[in-house]
Amino acid sequence: MNLRAIKSIYVFEMSRWFRTIMQSILSPVISTSLYFIVFGAAIGSRMTDIEGVEYGSFLVPGLIMLMLLTQSTANASFGIYFPKFVGTIYELLSAPVSYFEIVCGYVGGAATKSILLGLIILATAYLFVPVHILHPLWMVTFLVLTAVTFSLLGFIIGIWADGFEKLQLVPLLIITPLTFLGGSFYSIDMLPPFWQTVTLFNPVVYLISGFRWAFYGLADVSITTSLVMTFVFLAACLTVVARIFQTGYRLKS
């Protein structure tokens, strides 16, 4: 195992983040704050509590997940797409590193960034609404699992993309709608029965539900189902990544 290579890639990815720390942190924090102000304070004050939880507080896990999913995918996809775009990927491909080590470095870097962001957003939430965390360990588990899973998805997108448009297409067309429709802002019970069934095909529902359960003990689906689905999604991403490297897809001609 070339641990030094993993560390080098990881440190390289983190330093890329720290170089643009202001925009990396500021923009998600500002947009989350706006959600809290608009949905939490302005609209939330007219909403009824959801199973005893104030709407503003109910939003917190959903918003963290929203940021976690979008930032993990964006960071990881850009992280691997950029060396492809500028050509520095030659070094990675000619180095004595295994594909597993490359993935560890890039996905580890991207996941770390989004976990840190998630925690920063959680801290921001404390400024606006009351927040309780009933199961802190589960909260961290879901945070880490989701960050890793979606960083893997981002990595796949970054390898698949052969232009900046494609890099933005998947997050825009798939991730954002899935997250918005996955219960970030509402409980699934609030939907008509037909849409409740449709929603269950959305993997993000399970992530948000599990994460919210860790906060308030409220869940749309059982915690076990959430956990199983998260692992299924993680396994699916890992399989695709392994296949990409076996075939050299979009990496080697």
Q: Can you give the binding site for another protein, defined by CB under 8 A?
A: 2-5, 7-9, 11-12, 15-16, 19, 86-88, 90-98, 248, 252-253
Question: 116 vs 251, which CB is nearer to another protein?
Answer: 251
CB of 81 to another protein, least distance (A): 14
Task: State the CB neighbour count (10 A cutoff) for residue 98.
Answer: 14
Question: 1 vs 26, which CB is nearer to another protein?
Answer: 1
CB of 96 to another protein, least distance (A): 4
CB of 20 to another protein, least distance (A): 9
Question: 20 vs 197, which CB is nearer to another protein?
Answer: 20
Question: 98 vs 196, which CB is nearer to another protein?
Answer: 98
Q: Give yes or no for a contact between 32 and 121, defined as CB atoms under 8 angstroms apart.
A: yes
What's at 178, amino acid-wise?
A: L
Question: 95 vs 234, which CB is nearer to another protein?
Answer: 95
Q: What single DSSP character describes residue 53? A: B
Provide the 3-class DSSP secondary structure of residue 50: strand
Token pair for 228: 């199983």
CB of 243 to another protein, least distance (A): 15
Strand ranges, E, within 114-176: none
Token pair for 40: 């939490």
CB of 167 to another protein, least distance (A): 18
CB of 2 to another protein, least distance (A): 4
- Cβ neighbors of 26 (< 8 A, separation 6 or more) are none
Question: 224 vs 253, which CB is nearer to another protein?
Answer: 253
Measure the CA dihedral 157/163/169/171, to 10°: 40
Q: Give yes or no for a contact between 162 and 250, defined as CB atoms under 8 angstroms apart.
A: yes
Q: If you count DSSP H runs as helices and E runs as strands, how many of each does the chain have, helices first?
A: 11, 0
Of 80, 69, 8, the residue nearest 203 (C-alpha)? 69
